Structure 1
Amino acid sequence: MMNPALISMIAIVLAGGATALQAPTNAKLMTAVGSPVNAAFISFAVGTAALGLLALMFQSRPDWAAARGLPWYAWIGGLYGVIFVVAATWGVPRLGVALTITLMVAGQLLISLILDHLGAFGAPRQPINWGRIGGVALVIAGVVMVRRF
């Protein structure tokens, strides 16, 4: 049997690939519907329908009692998705897919270092160190290379 951590990493890489596909797909949609907000709205509507079908298929039911006890910020994750999708939809026609996604990954990594360091939102605490900073610096160097070359 394959290592569960390896399976998880492969799944996440594939999900990242889906993100790269989503940006130009929504940018194409934007040309027909007139704005990145309209394209994002349609994208989220299709995604919501897909999530509804998955919930039915897996017979997934939320624990509403537990959900009511969550802090306010636990309810706004979808807003971050809106920012991401609208920005990617807007950015692709101006910057290209590779630069848009590379910039987004750089932003994700910078914020994730801080979140890990603080153990924010219940994430395991992983202090910032030179190795982690170097890894993010390499991604930022990649942004520069994607932009310049």
Structure 2
Amino acid sequence: FLSGAVVLGIISVTVVKLQGISLDWKAPAPWLFVAGGMLGGFYVTLSTILTPRIGAAALMAFLVAGQLLAGMLIDRVGFLGVAVREISVGRVAGAVLLLAGALLVRLF
């Protein structure tokens, strides 16, 4: 993991230098970038911890279920300019079935 981060850092700095982009390290990052970085770190850490405990298939099933629920919430509130969509009985049923499937993958 660390070696990948180092390589990514080198590539990022190289691309920034080649494109002539100046980095203003003192400028505050928008809250969305900070939140995305923190959630990304949490995601990687949690995936690393949970994979040996619950298995890769169960982890993937729960991650997809979580993404579906987050997507439904984003659709409902229209976050970041997404078209607002109401939560229907069919969408809730689909989410419940996906969660049930994730539980079945975990239990069996």
TM over 0.5: yes
Shift of residue 49, structure 1, vs aligned partner: 3.8
1:81 corresponds in structure 2 to 40
In 2: Cα distance, 1:146 partner to 1:108 partner = 17
Count residues in correspondence. 104
Matches within 5 A, 1:1-149: 39=1, 42=2, 45-46=5-6, 48-49=8-9, 52=12, 71-149=30-108
Residue identity matched to 2:5: A
Gaps of 5+ in 2: none
Shift of residue 76, structure 1, vs aligned partner: 2.5
Would the alpha carbon gap of residues 46 and 123 (structure 1) be closer, same or farther in structure 2, given more than 3 Å must change?
A: farther
Identity percentage of aligned residues: 34
TM-score normalised per structure 1: 0.54
Residue identity matched to 1:127: E
In 1: Cα distance, 2:41 partner to 2:75 partner = 23
Gaps of 5+ in 1: 1-38
CA RMSD of aligned residues (A): 3.3
In 2: Cα distance, 1:106 partner to 1:79 partner = 20
What do the CA deviations read for 1:76-127 (whole angstroms, capped 9, x no partner)?
2121111111100000011110111111221222122111100113222222
TM-score normalised per structure 2: 0.71
If you compute each CA radius of gyration, which structure gives the higher value, 1 or 2? 2
